[in-house]
Amino acid sequence: MEKAKRHLRPLLDESGRVLYSSVATLKKGPLYILGLNPAGIPESFQKKKKEDIIRYSLNNLAQRDENAYTGEVWKRPALQKRLCWLVKNSFDCDIKDVCASNLIFNRSISAGDCGCPENADICWPVHEMIIKIVQPKMLLVYGNSHTSPFAYLLKRARERTGGEALKFEEFHSGHSSWHCKAFVMELLGKHRTIIGLPHLSRYNVRGKQSVANWVRDWFKRS
């Protein structure tokens, strides 16, 4: 915990959180879910409530028993429903059992304000701590545009290989010209599959079984 605090020192007193799943998901499992960062600036943070601060999230991690995708009431619940549908239809498991977080822990109104990649670099060592515990064979991320967890991981992978070709694939999302994307990278000594979906706040994956099947196939090959 203290090591995580040292890494996150520049962000500790900003609005945000570290884990979106319960602390019970910090165990070995096949999957790790990442969004970009918590959205919006809540009224409670404007009043400086400690519960909305990253420092509080870390200090109370051991007591976290809630999953943000099933246990919280969001003003726009579409993302929650879409992610739950995908996890059920691609992995045959309950999202409550899956470790989930965001690439960047601090909250912002828009993706452009999240401080990527600088804040992602600050948060990444904590993700490495989580990955060492969970040991996932797949990272499922939502957001695959220029500013996204997918783009950040792809850049890290390409830097590591020195520009060598990665196993990369695109699959039509079933909406407009948007695509789902996948590649394999070496991460903490193991090859792991990265699946990047269009951001689920805008992309409705529910009912698109071909996409769920494509994710499932990548998972089986991982």
Q: Are 54 and 17 in contact (CB under 8 A)?
A: yes
Tens-digit pLDDT profile for residues 164-214: 667 899 999 999 999 999 999 999 999 999 999 999 999 999 999 999 999
Residue 76 has phi, psi (to 5 degrees) of -125, 90
pLDDT at 112: 84
Mean pLDDT of 113-133: 96
Determine the Cα angle at 88 with ends 85 and 89, to 5°. 85
Cβ–Cβ < 8 Å for 171, 211: yes
pTM of full prediction above 0.75: yes
User: What is the structure's pLDDT at 48?
Assistant: 53
State mean pLDDT over 70-91: 95
Q: Which domains can be identified in the chain, with CATH numbers?
A: 2-221 (3.40.470.10)
119 pLDDT more than 80: yes
**What pLDDT score was predicted for residue 111?**
85
